[in-house]
Each structure stands twice: as C-alpha cells, then as structure tokens.
Chains A and B, each alone.
Chain A
Amino acid sequence: MIKSLIITHGNLGHEMIQVAEKILEQKLDIKAIAFDWQGDGSDMISQLEKFIAANKEHKIVIFTDMFGGSPSNIATRFINKNVEVLSGINLPGLLKFFCCERKGDKFVETIKTVEQGAIEGINIISEYLGDKND
C-alpha cells in the first residue's frame, strides 16, 4: 500500500482532498499539511518526519503544490527509495492516484501514471476541441 500526503501553501491540500472525496464518494487515506505562512517550515518538517516514521513499512508519495515552493523544497529533503515527491499536483492527478491505488498498482508505475494524469488534465479547451474537430 502506498501512503500519501499532500503539503501545500495554505489550505489548498485540505480543499483538494475534500473535493476528491466528494467526487469519489469515499473517505480518502491521505494527510494534508498546510505550510504556516508565519513559520520557518520547522513545523512542516516535524510533521513530515513523524508521518514517515509512522509509515516506514510503506512506500510514501508526497504531493506538493508547486515545484520550487517551500513545501516542495522541504519535501525534497525526504526523498529516498521509499519516499517520492510529485510536485504540481492538481485534481486530475489526485483522482488518478486514488484510482491507481484502488487497483493496487506498483509504486513507481503509480507515480508515473499520476504525473501523466496531472499533465493531461491541463488543456486549453478551445485548442482541445479544435483538435477533436479537425
């Protein structure tokens, strides 16, 4: 089983989880951590350490909102063979993750699939429709 958490600026992660739970009509096993705007990131580091220690028997994927942002930079410190970070997560990517997780896909495959789903979820709609109508 792949354990997951989403760490973001502000409450973005919490909101994304709530929306995904509404769409999938199920409680999702994912933890959200919000970056404290007033803090120095130490609280986020501490929460990440605790989460990883509590799930050391599992593979862990950490979703972050934006490559290069503080949550992403902090998460990057924890990358190892059992922990991967996927930055720029969006709703399609998050939904893709839980669909893969439900099917029991493997760790690396899952992360690649989620990355692809997130990328494919971004479209300039007029161009997309234009391509379809060409």
Chain B
Amino acid sequence: MIEKTQIIINKLGLHARAAAKLSHLANMYNANIYLIYNEDKVNAKSLLGILTLAASVGNEVTLHASGDDEKEAIRAISDLFNRKFDEES
C-alpha cells in the first residue's frame, strides 16, 4: 500500500474534465486507488465519485493505492496533478 499527498495546483481544481482524466488514468491500473480529501474517501476510478469531493486549487488530497502496480499508478496520477491535468500552459 502506498500513500502520497498531493496539492491541487490547477486553477479549476478537480472539476469535470480533470476528474474524467484522473478516473480514466486510474482505470488503466489494477491497483485499488482512492482519493482522500478531508473525511471523504472516493474511488479514483469513479468520475462521479471524484466530483463529490468538490476539491479546489490549493487543497491537499491524499492518493492511496494498493495492488501489484501501485507504484506506477501513484507515479502516473501524481504526474497528472503536477501537469495541471494538461489544461494550463
């Protein structure tokens, strides 16, 4: 099991298109992947689940993954956050 904290740095936060990209990416891995924000823990493979977090720029979320490809999953998802979901230059 791996956990990593991640600050949301894209201006629009975890909005619909970002959540779609995140869930799409998470679905490429076998690991169970969760996103934790405040008291809420949602499946990172669920677009609608991610949206319920209503997490904004500056908020800190925790990525949690467990499974055979957990390291790769966390690395790829963290990279997506750091790339601002490819929506800002």
Interface of B is mostly: helix
Contact between chains at B23 and A132 (CB < 8 Å)? no
Contact between chains at A117 and B17 (CB < 8 Å)? no
Contact between chains at B20 and A23 (CB < 8 Å)? yes
B21-52 interface with A by 8 A CB criterion: 21, 23-24, 27, 38-40, 46-48, 51-52
Interface of A is mostly: helix
Q: How far is the CB of A23 from chain B (nearest CB, A)?
A: 5
CA separation between A89 and B65, bound complex, in Å?
33
Interface size range of chain A in the complex: 10 to 19
What are the interface flags for A1-41 relative to B under an 8 Å C-beta threshold, 1 for contact and 0 otherwise? 00000000000000000000011110000000000000000
Contact between chains at B27 and A103 (CB < 8 Å)? yes
Which of B21, B38, B39, B48 lies in contact with A95, CB distance below 8 A? B48
Interface residues of B (CB under 8 A from A): 16-17, 20-21, 23-24, 27, 38-40, 46-48, 51-52
CB-CB nearest 10 A-B residue pairs: A23-B16, A23-B20, A24-B20, A23-B17, A117-B48, A92-B48, A99-B47, A95-B47, A96-B48, A121-B48
Given contact pairs A22-B17, A99-B23, A132-B40, enumerate 5 new A-B contacts (beta carbons under 8 Å): A24-B20, A25-B20, A25-B21, A95-B48, A121-B48
